[in-house]
Structures are given as C-alpha cells and as structure tokens.
Structure 1
C-alpha cells in the first residue's frame, strides 16, 4: 500500500509517499480502506520534532483521524466508519480496533466526517470538563478553528452564550454559528467588556495571552481551560482540558443534525500544502486530505 511518511524532522516538504506492506487485521480489528484523513496541529508538531514525548520511528507515518470503508475484520465489509488512530491515517489502509470505530452517519460526506473526528472529541470533552451549561457565558478563544467551530455549536445547543475570538474576516461566520464575535489581540479585554456580557467560563484553543486575558476578565481560574497552553495554565492556576478519546462522544456529536464544519480538502498528493496551511494557524474549519484509491 501507499502511505505518507517522513524520514527526518522538518518543514512540510519532508513528507513523501512510501510503498509499505499491506496491513492485515488481527483479532478484534478491522481493516479500513481510507477515504480521507484529517490534519491536526499534533501532526505538525510530530513532523517538526516539537513533540518530544512522541518518538519518531523513521520512516515515520503520519495522521491521527480517518474515515473510510471496512473491507475485512470484525465488522461487515462495506460499512463506512470513522475514528481515531495513531500516526498512520494518511495511507490507503489502516487497521484499528473494531470497538473504537464509529459508523459514519449517512448525512456526512467522507471529507466532512474526517474533519469531525478530533474536533468533536476535543470540544465535547473540554465542555464537559469545564461544566459548560445553560446560562453560562463562554469565552472561546480561536472560535473559528476546528475545535472552536464544534465547541461553539455544542455550547449554544446547551443553552450557553458564546463570545468567540477570531480575526475580523471570520466574524460573520461566528455569528452564523450563534456566537458574539470579538477580535483577538491586545484589545481583547476591552472588546469583551464592550459586548455587555460577563464571561463565566473560558476555553482556550489559541494559546499566548488567552488564559491571562480570561483571568483578567474575572473568570475563576478553575473555569478557565486550555487545550494548547500547559505553561500558561500552570502560571495562572487554570486547567488543561484535553479529554481522552471517546468513540461514544464522537458518535454523539457526529449524529447531531445541522452541525457545521467548513472543510478545506486537499488531494493527498498535496499533503505538504495541507500541513503548511495547518501550520500557518489561519483559516476556519478543518483541513483534510482525501486519499486517492485509484
């Protein structure tokens, strides 16, 4: 099979194709023919060597989230499934435990399903850990990104009010999701106060000044959570809210009708370009690569 690998840490152009042995499912596993795979900041960090607790085994494969069709193993062949894996999703095939897959709902196309895997689990888990509920005012940093997009919609559906930080070009998008948009940056505290809303809880998917600004707005540190900035969390007494993977939470989120996730899809021959876009930390929604099975 073909798979995307890299032989050294470096920029996106270290990624290349390799021909590898076809995988075979073991007991309790399924073999999935991959249709699309998400690209995460985690993938970028691994590729650049900025994830020291993840040791690369060169040639190292890449990719954490997949969607495809079962072709062998402990589920019926032809079943469309999605789920999480570990550094092997950008390939023609992947083997995964049958208990960890989620059946793809009919209303989702393959690229969108791939784009929901990590964002759904991360956003839903963070909101649960922060106990976001009806009546809360959630300050959501980087609200137009993939995690922010899902967290905004889940919080609004739970009855919370969302103040979302984003660049001005994404403000109308946040309004469409049900959030009150504000620009990020040095003037954030004043911009939030100008809304007339008083935040009660914050979720940081941006890093940098976000946690300090959240605490500066009077949010109790134990209701300030981050998925990206452990150092700032420790400095301010805030929380790291990286919930573990959960097929159950993933299934619940992807089943929701009307959930939005803008997708920027790249053919996997453009995987380096897809990584560069994620590395730039700009844009809305999710970057995915579609796998050529021809």
Structure 2
C-alpha cells in the first residue's frame, strides 16, 4: 500500500511517499480502506518531536489519526462491523506508527463509529479528533441548556465545532475571533467578540453577570477567562495546563466510539457540519502540514486517499 512516512523528527520535508505491506488486523480491530484523512496540528507536532516525552514513536511512522473510509477486513471478535461498512474513527493507538495517511489503516473498534450519511468523505474525516475534543470538554464542563458559554478561538478547527455543539445543547454562545471571522460565527449562531486587549470588557458588555462556562481552545487566555467567569462558573482548556491551578479542567481528547456516534447523530440531524478549507492528494501531505502550520485556516484540511 501507499503511505506517507517519516524516519526521523523534523519539518514537513521529512515526509515521503512509501510502499508498505498491508497492516495486520489484530483482535478487536478493523482494517479500513481510507477514502479521506484529516490533518490536525497534533500531526505535525508529533512529527517535529514535540510530543516525544509523551508518546512512543516507532520509525518509520505513518502520521494521521483522523479517518473516513470503508471496512476492508475485520479482526477476531469484532461483531460490531462488517466488510463494506462506511466508518469514521479517531484512530489513535497507544503509540505512533500506523497512522491514517495511508491507503489502509487498522483501528481498534473502541475508536470507530458509523460515517454520518449527511457528510461527504472529507467532512466526515474532519469530524473525529476536533469534534471529540470539543464535545468532551463541553461534556466535562457540564454545559447545560440555557447557560452562556464563551468559546476562545471559536473560528478554529475545534472551536467552530464547539460552537455548534453548544448551540445544539441549547446554550447561548459567545465566541472570540478576528473581525474577519465574525460573520462566519454569526452564521453558526454565535455572538462574536474580537480577541486581544479589552476582551474581558467586550464579553462583559454582552454578559454583564459573567458567563457560566468558558471553553479555551487556544491557550494563553486564562486571565480573560477568570475575568468573565460568573460566580460558580466552570472553565477548561485543551491548550493550557495551568488552568487546573485556578479551578479549571485541563483536557486531552480520548478516542470514543460512543461520543463519535453522538457527533454523527448531530450531523445527521442537521445540527453540525464540518467546513473543509482545502483538500490535498496523499502525495502532498507535506504541503498540507505547511498550511496547517501557518495557523490561518478556517475549517479542516483533508487528504484524499482514494475515490472508491
């Protein structure tokens, strides 16, 4: 099979298109023929070695954790799935080696959910990691119908999904973004505010008594978070581990077939969509990494691996 690999840590130019054997399918796993895979910032961060102290990487490694595709084979004791099923997965394993930027990838069934019918292959591939990150943080913060939530980086890949999930839960959503993304956020149902100096004052103008929940998807905004949080409010971050020292939750996304199914249901109910910014060929993953590193992407970056 064709796959993108790297044999050492480094910049995107370490990536190369390689020929590799078909992966072995272990018990409790499925083999997925990849239609589309999505790029997340963590993919190039792992390839640069930024997570070396956290995760085991076995070289040569195939990057990528998001996937949408068709079940090609099933392992032992896998009653949940059959050959031909259309699926999505946040296919993160306990180590980094056999990722999703390949024609075939194995995934534990605990990571796999049915592909939402309402999303195309690239949208579906962009849902798992970002969607689960948003969904799980909001769930841990206990966001409820009628509450007000401030979403930091609301127009980013995770934030724009958090906005939609929060709206689906019945919350009022205030979202930080550059002015160029304000109309986009209004279209998702959020009330946009410009980030930067004076943010707390701008949020207080919209919510004089403070907000019930703050979900931080960018980091470096703890002071603003605390300044707008209502009494007994809850806050959490995926990008700032120090929030725990101030009563917040520091979160790291987990694979979950159950949570991913819930996200798929929201999509098929018309309450969640996944904007796709750009689609690259498998051979051009390095270019996709460079675009992701630029930090100026609204929506997901997808890798088209096959069309059948």
Q: Which of 274, 277, 286 is the aligned partner of 1:261?
A: 274
Q: Which is worse superposed, 155-164 or 96-105?
A: 96-105
Q: TM-score, normalised by structure 2?
A: 0.89
Q: Which of 90, 101, 111 is the aligned partner of 1:84?
A: 90
For 1:292 and 1:269, how far apart are their aligned partners in 2? 12
In structure 1, the gaps of 5 or more residues are: none
Q: Residue 156 of structure 1 corresponds to which residue in structure 2?
A: 167
User: Aligned to 2:87, what secondary structure does the other structure show?
Assistant: strand
Q: How does 1:57-136 map to 2 (within 5 A)?
A: 57-73=58-74, 74=78, 75-86=81-92, 87=96, 88-136=99-147
For 1:58 and 1:293, how far apart are their aligned partners in 2? 28
For 1:163 and 1:72, how far apart are their aligned partners in 2? 44
Q: Deviations over 1:227-263 (max 9, x none)?
A: 1111x31453422133422111111111222212111
Q: Which is worse superposed, 196-205 or 34-43?
A: 196-205
For 1:266 and 1:110, how far apart are their aligned partners in 2? 13
Q: Is 1:174 aligned to 2:185, yes or no?
A: yes
Q: Which is worse superposed, 232-241 or 161-170?
A: 232-241
* Structure 1 contact 120–249 (Cα < 8 Å) conserved: no
* Residues 1:64 and 1:173: Cα distance change in structure 2 (over 3 Å): same
Q: Which of 207, 217, 220 is the aligned partner of 1:205?
A: 217
* Structure 1 contact 137–162 (Cα < 8 Å) conserved: yes
* Residues 1:217 and 1:28: Cα distance change in structure 2 (over 3 Å): closer
* Residues 1:21 and 1:138: Cα distance change in structure 2 (over 3 Å): same
Q: Is 1:228 aligned to 2:245, yes or no?
A: no
* Structure 2 contact 119–273 (Cα < 8 Å) conserved: no
* Residues 1:222 and 1:191: Cα distance change in structure 2 (over 3 Å): closer
For 1:100 and 1:200, how far apart are their aligned partners in 2? 31
For 1:105 and 1:224, how far apart are their aligned partners in 2? 30
User: Aligned to 2:127, what secondary structure does the other structure show?
Assistant: helix
Q: Deviations over 1:266-288 (max 9, x none)?
A: 22222112112222222222122
Q: Which of 268, 277, 281 is the aligned partner of 2:295?
A: 281
* Structure 2 contact 133–252 (Cα < 8 Å) conserved: yes
* Residues 1:147 and 1:221: Cα distance change in structure 2 (over 3 Å): farther
For 2:4 and 2:158, how far apart are their aligned partners in 1? 25
Q: Residue 285 of structure 2 corresponds to which residue in structure 1?
A: 271
How far the C-alpha of 1:98 sits from its partner, in A, is: 3.4
User: Aligned to 1:81, what secondary structure does the other structure show?
Assistant: strand
Q: Residue 33 of structure 2 corresponds to which residue in structure 1?
A: 33
Q: Residue 291 of structure 1 corresponds to which residue in structure 2?
A: 305
For 1:30 and 1:163, how far apart are their aligned partners in 2? 40
In structure 2, the gaps of 5 or more residues are: none
How far the C-alpha of 1:8 sits from its partner, in A, is: 2.1
* Residues 1:19 and 1:288: Cα distance change in structure 2 (over 3 Å): same
Report the aligned-residue RMSD.
Answer: 1.9
* Structure 1 contact 221–238 (Cα < 8 Å) conserved: no
* Structure 1 contact 211–224 (Cα < 8 Å) conserved: no
User: Aligned to 1:216, what secondary structure does the other structure show?
Assistant: helix
How far the C-alpha of 1:293 sits from its partner, in A, is: 6.3
4+ long deviations beyond 6 Å: none
Q: TM-score, normalised by structure 1?
A: 0.93
